[in-house]
């Protein structure tokens, strides 16, 4: 894979330029069920997998716009040094490099940021570039800002905080496409992200097909159950398999 880097982050901090992603038919299966995280969570429970975070912790910025796609990951850490953020701001310093992840993304990816609390880890310009590159949404453990712009362009984000305070001169991007931790969940690049108004599910890539198959079975069963309910069936007679 030939990639033109932007120079926003040192090349050695990019753990991988590319990585395996789930097959398209797997992604399509999750779209068929409407990216229903409740259903995904139930199937993951049955398979002994842990990977769901509620929307009370990762709050969606645009309701009614669910997403599914492989994770492309970014790790942010507080920028440490003797100088203060005001001096860095005056000097035009910017330690954030999540845009390099946008640059490396493939259409359909979801950018996932292990961020810094109390600060914006992704703003409006970053969201606009991400959308232009084909990224379908963002998951951020930390703050975000410029909600009006991201809503205007229809770019959904799920975040733990909202803050106008920029991370540009307070945050350093330390790794791209390495493992990250979001709300206690380990996420590797290529893991499948499913998000809706109820929350966010992280499906490890090695289990993505099994979860997708389980979701389709549950989706079809629920459709038959709802049809039977609408037809007046007794509770005891509802389809069970």
Q: pTM for this structure?
A: 0.93
Domain positions in the chain are 11-23+51-206
Per residue, the 3-state secondary structure of 99-168, as one string, reads: HHHHHHCCCCCEEEEECCCCCECCCHHHHHHHHHCCCCEEEEEEEECCHHHHHHHCCCEEEEEECCCECC
> For every one of its 241 residues, what pLDDT tens digit does the chain have, with 9 covering 90 and above?
456 677 777 788 999 999 999 999 999 999 999 999 999 999 999 999 999 999 999 999 999 999 999 999 999 999 887 668 888 888 888 889 999 999 999 999 999 999 999 999 999 999 999 999 999 999 999 999 999 999 999 999 999 999 999 999 999 999 999 999 999 999 999 999 999 999 999 999 999 999 999 999 998 877 887 878 888 888 887 678 7
**196 is written with which tokens?**
């809706």
Number of CB atoms found within 10 A of residue 237's CB: 9
Query: Which residues sit opposite 172 in a β-bridge?
Result: 77
**227 is written with which tokens?**
């049809």
Find where tokens 């992704």 sit. 122
Query: Which residues sit opposite 180 in a β-bridge?
Result: 187
Each residue of 64-95: b (16+ CB within 10 Å) or e? ebbbbbbbbbbbbeebeeeeebeebeeeeebb
The C-alpha atoms of residue 158 and residue 34 are separated, in whole angstroms, by 17
DSSP state of 47: T
Domain 11-23+51-206 has CATH 3.50.30.40: yes
Phi, psi at residue 222, to the nearest 5°?
A: -65, -35
């Amino acid at each position: 894979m030939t990639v033109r880097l932007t120079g926003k982050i040192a090349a050695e901090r990019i753990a991988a330029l590319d990585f395996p992603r789930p097959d398209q038919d797997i992604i399509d299966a999750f779209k068929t069920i409407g990216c229903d995280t409740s259903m995904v969570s139930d199937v993951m429970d049955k398979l002994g997998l842990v990977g769901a975070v509620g929307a009370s912790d990762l709050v969606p910025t645009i309701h009614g716009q669910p997403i599914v796609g492989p994770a492309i990951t970014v790790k942010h850490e507080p920028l440490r040094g003797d100088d203060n953020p005001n001096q860095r701001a005056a000097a035009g310093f910017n330690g954030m490099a999540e845009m390099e992840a946008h640059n490396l993304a493939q259409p359909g990816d979801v950018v996932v940021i292990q961020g810094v609390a109390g600060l914006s880890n992704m703003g409006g310009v970053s969201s606009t570039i991400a959308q232009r590159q084909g990224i379908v949404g963002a998951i951020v453990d930390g703050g975000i800002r410029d909600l009006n712009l991201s809503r205007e362009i229809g770019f959904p984000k799920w975040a733990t905080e909202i803050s106008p305070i920029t991370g540009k001169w307070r945050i350093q991007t330390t790794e791209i496409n390495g493992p990250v931790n979001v709300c206690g969940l380990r996420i590797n690049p290529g893991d499948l992200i499913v998000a809706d108004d109820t929350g966010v599910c992280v499906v490890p890539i090695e289990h993505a097909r099994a979860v997708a198959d389980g979701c389709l079975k549950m989706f079809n069963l629920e459709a038959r159950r709802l049809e039977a309910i609408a037809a007046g069936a007794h509770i005891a007679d509802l389809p069970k398999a």
